[in-house]
Amino acid sequence: MIENGMNRRDFLKVLGWGGAAVALTGCGNTSVEDGKELITSYVEATDYMIPSIGVYFNSTCAQCDAGCGIMGRVREGRVLKLEGNADSVINHGKMCALGQAGVQAHYNPDRVRDPLLRSGSKGEAITWEKALGLINEKLGGAKGDEIAFLTGGMSGHTKALLGNYLEALGGAKHYAYDVTAPAVVRAANKKAYGVEMPHLRLDKAKAIVSFGADFLGAWVSPVHFSQQYARFRKGENGQRGVLVQVESKMTLTGANADRWLAVRPGTEGVLALGVINALGAAGLYLSEDVKSLVKDYAPERVSKETGAPAEQIGKLAALLKERSPSLAIAGSAVEGYAHGSQIAAAVALLNQVLGNVGKTIEAPANVPFQQLAPAATGRAALVALNDALAAGKVKVLFTYGANPVYSASSAMKFKDNMKKAAFKVAFAHYLDETALEADLVLPLDSALEDWGTFVPAYAGDVAQLGVQQPLMEKLHANTRGAGDILLALLKQKEADKYKGFEDYYAYLRTAVVQNKAALGGAGADDDTFWGETLSKGLVKFGAAGGSLSGKVSAADVALPAAAAADAQFPLTLIPYVTPNQRDGRHANQPWLQEAPDPLTTVVWDSWVEIHPKKAAELGIVEGDIVEVTSKHGSIKAQAYVFPGIHPEAVSVPMGYGHEAMGRYAKDVGANVLSILDPVADKVTGETALNETRVKIAKAGKRVIVVKEEGAAGGKQMGKKIAVRVSTDKVDLSEEV
Amino acid sequence: MHRFLRLSVLLIGLFVATGSHAAETAPALTTADDLGPQVEQPIEFPHDRHAGDASKGGMQINCMYCHTYARRSASSGIPPLQKCIGCHQNIESVKDKPRIKKLFEYWEAKKPVPWKKVHDLPDYVRFSHERHVQRFVFQQGRPVQEACGYCHGDVKNMTVARRSKPLSMGWCADCHQKDHPVDGAAAAKTAKGPNDCWQCHK
Amino acid sequence: MAKDIREDISWAQINNDVLKSLETPRPLYWVIVTVALIMFLGGVGLEVYMYNMGMGVANLNNPHVWGLFIATFIFWIGMSHSGTLLSAILHLMHADWRKPIYRFAEAMTTFSLMTAGLFVMVHLGRLWQFYYSLPYPNERGLWPNFQSPLLWDAMAIFTYLSSSIIFLYIGMIPDLAICRDHMKEGWRKKLYTALSLGWEGTDRQWRNFRITYLTVACFLIPLAVSVHSIVASDFAMSQQPGWHVTSFPPYFVAGALYSGCAAIITLFIILRYVFKFEEYMTLPILKKTARLTFAIAMVWTYLNAIEFASVWYSHDQASKDVLIQKATGPYAFAWWGMIFCGSVVPLMLAVKRFQTNIPVLFAVSLLLNLGMWLERWMIVSPTFSHGYYPWAWDHDQWPSFVQWGMVFASFGWFTLLFMVFCKVFPSVSMYEVKEMVYHRTLALKKGGKGGH
Amino acid sequence: MSVTNLLENWSQFRKSHPEGDVPHAEYKWAMSIDLDACTGCNACSVACYAENNLPVVGKEKFLHGQQMHWMRVERYWDEDGRDFPDQGAQFLPMMCQQCEAAPCETVCPVGATNHTADGLNSQVYNRCVGSRYCSANCPFKVRYFNWYDYPTTDDVWPAEMSQQLNPDVTVRGKGVMEKCTFCVQRLSAAKNTARNEGRSVKDGEVQTACQQACPTGAISFGNLMDTESRVYKQWKNQRVELDKEEQAKDKEEGGSKLRGYRILEDLRAYPSVMYLERVRESAV
């Protein structure tokens, strides 16, 4: 590790070693050819720059909002590989596939390289001066509330700067939008525990029952949870934790559960109440109001409604009773249904009944600077923006880190509504669907070339400010960091305030150094503190949180009666957030396209998961192209007969079906988000993702499903390959 | 027919003899002075002036004074321009020589000198300068110029460096199969160079 | 019973008839040569394509890394055994009916070996580095891996090829002298003059010739057996289910003789027609060849049954699975095709009526060869698609047009070489036919029935 | 190597698994993978792409089975025909098992794959002629052949992406075989550092890319000759012996509480990767 952070900027100025002269092949008839190759030496070099030795610089991963600390291996001026930063409280040196692919976001051949101004259907490269001037000009004709900023997850100083800019524009609106955000969970948590994201202690729990939370795959902070999961499985006191997953479509977490309970879509809440009922029956103390709430949820009824065997409900209750503390987590089920908030309340009630609050559900660390804390993203934001656009209330629209033209349901007619805004500016890495609709596209630096700070979406026990810093010289001369653009725009409005900052780097440095006392650097020299911060790539700040305040009462839980069967659209569509694709923003990173989906092992395409029974009923076999039709459109994709899904549901992964974005993303699969019904959670107004009813039909074509799984189809054919053993057959306490 | 038979016997005998001789002496075939081509460098750097013996007007500078990476990295590297300038800005006597002028031109333009590779290996060969320098110079205590000279030849008497050893696989392997003392002590244990393919090809 | 050859045929007529084949074949000859050339050129085109693009265009994959190239390679190696059988083994056994047909059988040996060698090259991923597999002193100080059956293969094939070329050539020397003496001036005369090595037909020359010929024949027989045993070792020495079978070497040799005999019947019929050899390649000889083929077919069937049985009664479940997979999986059509063509079709050869029926024999011989080709494919491919590791099972692999085309082209290449040979060199051994006629005449005078 | 050298060193020219008296000198790299911790997330596989310059072949070639992932994560289902896989799936990361008596080594005609002194199964790209015999003889089918010339194939490494290539690892052209190397470039870097300091590589000093990425720490890697190493302790604890094809676990019928095993052990290839059985709760 380089301690001397002071040289970071110099390092970037000096020339790279050997330019881009990478020998692409090592196996040809290469002979020793004297004097044919060039060795370009440095003009100036610092001590740590040694040719052929990789140097590691810390930064923060920007592939999702989890905010893992990373270190980039830099050699000869190029970043080669990302590895985890062991100091980070989020990932402790580990990384996921998505994070590994960060280098491909950086080196992506389809990045936007120049500011592009729309002229007809094409983009014309213009200078930054012209681009920024144009924005200033267009903003002049709009009132504050006619300007909207649509962003994805944002935190840290970029978010603070954006806040300042919105203010400077006279109250422009910020819409923070993310399809996969656990927005309903956060709202429900706020109610039940008093905080949006309590600190979940998986490692302390002896049993976990998760209601569709894919915490190992794609939920909130998977790398962090995976590590806790490993400790939970090892059982620090010798007892191996037990995981029960309740969901309608098997997620990666479900695939790792000791018991995977397939429930009828939307009945997760019923099951939670059923478990409480069974706990009561097993002798656990229940308060009167809870008792009366769950009295109708006898195992037989619950089993009938959810489809889970009654015996399993009893076993689950027995397990939870025996193993304390336990932990119930509400996940995608909560985001999925109009009664999602109710499901969350039922799960919270379960936690409360089991006495988990305060034991495995703790208060998170406080983030002392709220302006740096992650923006509360959600799907309702897009609905609000769409309404504003439809009503013609938005004249200038900025988008950054969000791709609504791709991810909005066709029912919202977002693309058409967007046209109503007079001037659309997209901050973009790629020419994605939204950038193509914009009037002005501003090319962004990649996450490995840019400065920034991040506050993780999920804090854990210590709050942490991740510092993002350039790991190498800019790949394209004419791209800029989002922070730099915002600063330049701010200077247009409030030149005096910001004139002291030459660029975003200067701003960031000042902002961090000024608060060094709060960031644990009290008394340190400015330069030393800043140097150390960059060297570590993160600052830990904020004390552990206090106690949790909220409480959920039986009155908060009111589950609706089971929905009547819909003859026209008999199936529930579950859009699946895959660990690799998430909401589709990484679709142009080929490693992620080629890495098989862990459960189906499909690559380079989307698929429709159908339960074998349902498939047999409909005469569908693997590879049939099926048409999935909802009230708002239809998509075609290959069928994959998959045992891990409830027969009344079909599932299609998100993130595929891009019409633009780049060579690896374009025309790969179908976009499931486009056919969603715009149904909202009744309490929070967040779009419910699993409320779309569909019918499926064969489209008459059959293809070979391109997947990793071979002809044996996941069978071991009697061979001892992946072996499983039940807990009573092993002794884990003796293990190393 | 006899003539035919005699001829066949002779031919077969000849083939066998040449074959086995060639096999025995194969490495030797390429160890002769296999001088590489004269490489034209942007600046005709006089190694003899810098590293040559004092008796011949050289300054006897240690190889690793400039090629400082050799002991720390697989790649010996070319020193940064900064290094040349570090000395030469104080050496007034040669400042207006054409080569030095050119050097300063590069420096002022902050452009690296486009040196050409003299000792090039195929891309699938990974030679570690570090290990060889550590082993022979630091652990075994051989003189630097001798150790470097095994592969680079008598650079101190060259102006622009020129490849003088074959740098071929048989040539490398030949040395790896010899017993070399592990440290400087006279009766110390010896060891051969590694014999794995993966040592150099990976 | 009809005679193998007419006793009253004059030596001059033999010379005349055979030498005529060097001059004026039927027009069909040119049709065959043209078609063969086009097929071969097509294969060259495919190879250039594959060389530039990479082996992937053949639609091989991981783990199905070998395909028709290796199967066809074994097929051609097998084909080469017929020549040795007819010329060396039957020579030692004094079966003199072989005499009119052994020359072309030997040529077949040489050319099918050359074809097989091509497949080794085509199969290599880095053709341009093929010389790494040859043991020769080199600067790198490296040797090939003498443990690898593939290396034994390369050596065995080269030895066999050079030996069979020498054998073919030595056997031709007296005939080349006849050609030399009967040719008008021209390049051919020069060629024959050079090749006949000053043959005068003196007693001493004849004595030396006989000894040399017999020695090489004796040398060739173990070589032929070992070559195909070594090819079998490529599979038997490996660890894969379906390959790891002890009886593979004799099984391969039997299969080789079988396909070789079938090919002799095919070419017999073609040559007889094209070069008007009705006098020499007579129906009784064809009948003997058909009977020989039938016998070998039954040996092969027996060894096939042994192979199945040894797999079936072994405790190796994986091998059993592969066998079941062959019979029921996606390759079932080819596997049953092999059983049908290899074991059922030859039963027709047992019927006397068919033994001299040229159209039937021609069809049967083609089917037998098809069966033997399928056998080789069924040895190679199913093991890849259904090996030890179920996750890597691949039942969808199907050779691409590049593989099929190359297999197709190899027949063109072989036919081309063979046809050119028959036009340039006497494809019926004149001096041996003369001997045969002479012996039969003697026997007739003594009142015998001819033959030994 | 002269003929004399060849004859003198014939016994060393080919090494199968180590002999009893001198098993391994200084290093024997080995791995253990805890399937109970493995979640099947694919981080290891992608990390391997990043470290080892693996080409992305695209849909068409993936369809033809020409994918190049050195580390594949296999997913198995139970085979008892229940409606739902209600005990989850079973994941298994599979890569070259670095067998001690590797079936691939003996069959290579040119000796491009060899056993190293560190107990690794080396693959030398520049020696490989592409006969693919090694893959044919590999029981695990973990060898991957370059069916195309990926460095020159469109969209595999377009100009910018080629800058990501790891200079320590050769980029393979068409026609050569490749496979997991246990990140040999990292191993030799660590060994070099250790040798310069006159010591052996310490446990934890070197990590493979997959191990480094694995979010649950399911993979341990280290020197089996180092009794302080975690991997040694795990193998010892599970009573798995490198040069045996039958382990304590197999012998003790039913009663054994061990869960370490190696795949296809009965083929006597003596893999260097030990897997720990996945555990599932019997109570729910």
Query: Which residues of chain B, if any, have pLDDT below 50?
Result: 26-32
Contacts of B4 in chain C (CB under 8 A): 197
**Average pLDDT, stretch A697-709?**
92
B129 with B69: CB under 8 angstroms? yes
Distance from chain centroid for Cα A320: 30
Residue of D nearest to A77 (CA): D163
How far away is chain B from the Cα of D229, in angstroms, using its nearest Cα?
A: 23
Using DSSP's 3-state secondary structure scheme, residue C254 falls into helix
Cβ contact, residue pair D196, B126, below 8 Å: no
CB distance B32 to B144 below 8 Å: no
**D267-284: average pLDDT:** 90
Q: Least CB-CB distance to B80: which of A25, A44, A52?
A: A44
Distance from CA of B156 to the nearest CA of C (A): 29
Question: Residue A196 class from Cβ within 10 Å (0-12 exposed, 13-18 middle, 19+ buried)?
Answer: buried
Give the model confidence (pLDDT) of C34-74 as tens digits.
999 999 999 999 999 999 999 999 999 888 999 999 999 99
Closest residue by Cα to residue A562 from A367, A301, A193: A301
Structure confidence by residue, pLDDT tens digits, A446-494: 999 999 999 988 887 788 899 999 998 899 999 999 999 999 999 998 8
Per-residue pLDDT reduced to its tens digit, D53-73? 999 999 999 999 899 999 999
And the tokens for A300? 């037989």
Q: Do B78 and A41 touch (CB under 8 A)?
A: yes
Segment C146-161 shows an average pLDDT of 89
Give the residue carrying structure tokens 């333009």: B109
The answer to whether A34 contacts B39, with C-beta atoms less than 8 Å apart, is yes
Q: Where are the alpha helices (DSSP H) in C149-237?
A: 149-182, 187-195, 203-236
**Interhelix angle C283-312/C358-385, nearest 10 degrees:** 20
Q: Are A104 and A61 in contact (CB under 8 A)?
A: no
Residue of D nearest to C120 (CA): D131
For chain A, first and last CA: distance in Å? Answer: 30
Mean pLDDT for A648-668 is 94
Indicate the pLDDT class of residue D19, thresholds 50, 70 and 90.
low
Chain B CA closest to residue D117? B196
pLDDT reported for residue D274: 95
Q: Kind of pairing, strands B114-116 and D219-223?
A: unpaired
ipTM of the complex: 0.90
Tell me the torsion sign for CA atoms C195, C199, C201, C204: negative
Contact B131/D196, CB-based, under 8 Å?
yes
Q: Are C153 and C231 in contact (CB under 8 A)?
A: yes
Burial class of residue A87 in the structure, from the number of CB atoms within 10 Å of its CB (0-12 exposed, 13-18 middle, 19+ buried) = middle
Q: What is the pLDDT of residue A13?
A: 36
Give the per-residue pLDDT at A27.
41
Interface touch D2/B195, C-beta < 8 Å: no
Tokens standing for A272? Answer: 């939670």
Q: Answer with the residue of higher pLDDT: C440 or D222.
A: D222
Does D173 reach chain B within 8 Å, measured CB to CB?
A: no
Taking CA–CA distances from A704, the nearest residue in chain C reads C396
SS (HEC) of B99-161 = HHHHHHHHHHHCCCCEEECCCCCCCCCCCCHHHHHHHHHHHCCCCHHHHHHHHHCCHHHCCCC
Residue-wise DSSP of C352-421: HHHHT-HHHHHHHHHHHHHHHHHHHHHHHHHHHHT-S-GGG--S-----HHHHHHHHHHHHHHHHHHHHH
Q: Residue C353 class from Cβ within 10 Å (0-12 exposed, 13-18 middle, 19+ buried)?
A: exposed
Q: Say whether residue D255 is in contact with chain A using an 8 A CB cutoff.
A: no
CA atoms within 13 A on the CB side of C181: 14
Question: What per-residue confidence (pLDDT) applies to C140?
Answer: 83
Q: Mean per-residue pLDDT for C277-301?
A: 89
For the segment C178-190, the average pLDDT, to the nearest whole number, is 85
CA distance D170 to chain B (A): 6
Which of D6, D141, D269 comes nearest C143 by C-beta? Answer: D6
What's the number of CA atoms in the CB half-sphere (13 Å) around residue C336? 9
Q: Residue A444 carries which DSSP code? A: B
pLDDT reported for residue B26: 47
CB < 8 Å from C in window 178-237 of D? none
- Establish if C203 touches chain A: CB-CB under 8 angstroms: no
Compute the distance between CA of residue A706 and CA of residue A708 in angstroms, rounded to an integer. Answer: 7
Q: Tell me: pLDDT of A172 over 50.
A: yes
| Interface probe with A: pick from C325, C383, C391, C394, most Cβ of A within 10 Å | C391
Q: Is C30 helix (H, G, I), strand (E, B) or coil?
A: helix
Least confident of A381-395, C95-109, D94-108: C95-109
> Residue A729: what pLDDT?
85
Q: In the block, which residue shows the tokens 């072309």?
A: C104
- From A429, A471, A458, select the one nearest A662 (Cα to Cα): A429
CB A385 within 8 A of CB A356: no
**Dist. CA A122–CA A116, nearest whole Å:** 9
Question: Is residue D6's pLDDT more than 70?
Answer: no
Q: What is residue B33's predicted lDDT score, i.e. its pLDDT?
A: 54
pLDDT at B185: 58
Using the Cβ of C392 and the Cβ atoms of chain A, whether some distance falls under 8 Å is answered with yes
pLDDT exceeds cutoff 60 at A33: no
Averaged pLDDT of chain A:
88
Q: Which stretches of chain A sit within 8 Å of chain B by CB?
A: 15, 23, 25-27, 30-45, 50-53
Q: For A372-387, what is the mean pLDDT?
A: 92
- How high is the pLDDT of residue A693? 93
Report CB contact under 8 Å: C133, D74: no
Kind and range of the H or E run holding A45: none
The whole-angstrom separation of Cα A363 and Cα A360 is 10
Name chain D's partners: 3 or more CB pairs within 8 A.
Answer: A, B, C
Cα–Cα separations (whole angstroms), residue B3 to B7, B8, B9, C343: 6, 9, 10, 53
Name the residue facing B197 among D122, D168, D169 (closest C-beta).
D122
CB-closest option in C126, C128, C394 to A711: C394
Chain A residue numbers with beta carbons less than 8 Å from the beta carbon of B107 are 43
Predicted confidence (pLDDT) per residue in A293-319, tens digit: 989 899 999 999 999 999 999 999 999
Residue D90 near chain A (CB below 8 Å)? yes
Q: Report chain B residues touching chain D, CB-CB < 8 A.
A: 20, 23-27, 122-124, 126, 128, 130-131, 134, 139, 173, 177, 194-199, 201-202
pLDDT, one tens digit per residue, over C65-105 is 999 999 999 999 988 887 777 778 887 887 778 888 888 88
pLDDT of residue A109: 94
Beta strand D219-223 with D29-34: parallel, antiparallel or unpaired? Answer: antiparallel
Q: Do A36 and B118 touch (CB under 8 A)?
A: no
Q: Measure the CA–CA gap between A211 and A690, rounded to whole angstroms.
A: 14
By percentage, how much of chain A surpasses pLDDT 70?
94
Greatest mean pLDDT among A35-39, B21-25, D29-33 lies in D29-33
Which chains border C (3 or more CB–CB pairs < 8 Å)? A, B, D
Q: Which one of C141, C204, C205 has the shortest CB-CB distance to B27? A: C141
Res. C12: pLDDT tops 90 = no
The reply to whether residue C394 touches residue A718, judged by beta carbons under 8 angstroms, is no
Chain C residues whose beta carbon lies within 8 Å of the beta carbon of residue D110: 132-133, 144-145
What does R_g of chain B's alpha carbons equal in angstroms? 23
Taking an 8 Å cut-off on Cβ atoms, the answer to whether D87 and A724 are in contact is yes
* Cα distance between residue A200 and residue A225, in whole Å: 9
D61 — contact with chain A (CB < 8 Å)? no
Q: Which amino acid is at A683?
A: V
Rg (CA), chain A: 26
Which positions 116-175 of D are in contact with A (Cβ < 8 Å)? Answer: 125-126, 128, 149, 151-152, 155, 157-167, 170-173, 175
Q: Per mean pLDDT, which range of A263-267, A681-685, A719-723, B7-11 is the poorest?
A: B7-11
Which residue is closest to B174 within chain D, CA to CA?
D1
Residue A37 has pLDDT above 80, yes or no: no
Band of the pLDDT at D198, cuts 50, 70, 90?
confident
What is the pLDDT at residue A19?
31
